Amino acid sequence: MELLIDFQIDEAFAGVVDAQDLKTLVTATLQRHAEELGEAVEVTLRITDDAEMQALNHAYRGVDASTDVLSFAAQEESEGEPALALPPELVAELERHLGDIVISYPYAERQAAQFGNSVAAELRLLAIHGTLHLLGYDHAAPDEEEAMWAEQEAILAPYGDAAIARRNYPDEPNIGA
């Protein structure tokens, strides 16, 4: 499977984010699901600040607060929506794009401190979590949460971070801001 992971890291965080580390974890997550995916997959991973994350969270979820990670799946289907008539080459390009993951670095930093993790470990968890959402995982129901947490744990285990994969997230989306 050919993978293209496009990193967009705000300049303020460029010196503190290990893009190669995150690429390794996103790749590991996608490779575990290679049979479900096409021959080529593209994902965009953006590291930004709380202000941008708050704007996105408000626009897309109606929550006027920052959050740790948001995923925007490109392959979501809308019932009753007409299909677009697109040129074949554009259809192929769009089918490769799995979606976008956006992580707030300051939020991840606060969350890491709250849970006693390194920021690097927190970013790895959030990158995996976001990728799993793009793959259709969710945690709204207990059985979904169990499946998603188990998958996070399995992916993180070789990196020594498996213990952080099963923590309970607070209902309030705004940690320490």
Distance CA 144, CA 138 (A): 6
What is the per-residue pLDDT for 172? 44
Q: Answer for the pair 86, 47: CB distance below 8 angstroms, yes or no.
A: no
| Per-residue pLDDT reduced to its tens digit, 102-143 | 999 999 999 999 888 899 999 999 999 999 999 999 988 999
- Scored b (16 or more CB within 10 A) or e, 121-155 reads bbbbbbbbbbbbbbbebebeeeeebeebbebbbeb
What is the per-residue pLDDT for 8? 96
Residue 38 burial (CB count, 10 A): 12
Its pTM stands at 0.85
Q: Answer for the pair 162, 149: CB distance below 8 angstroms, yes or no.
A: no
Ordered by start, the domain boundaries in the chain are 2-75+86-166
The CATH number fitting domain 2-75+86-166, selected from 3.30.420.40, 3.40.390.30, 3.40.50.300, 3.40.50.11610? 3.40.390.30
| Per-residue pLDDT reduced to its tens digit, 37-91 | 878 899 999 999 999 999 999 999 999 999 999 999 986 554 555 455 555 565 5
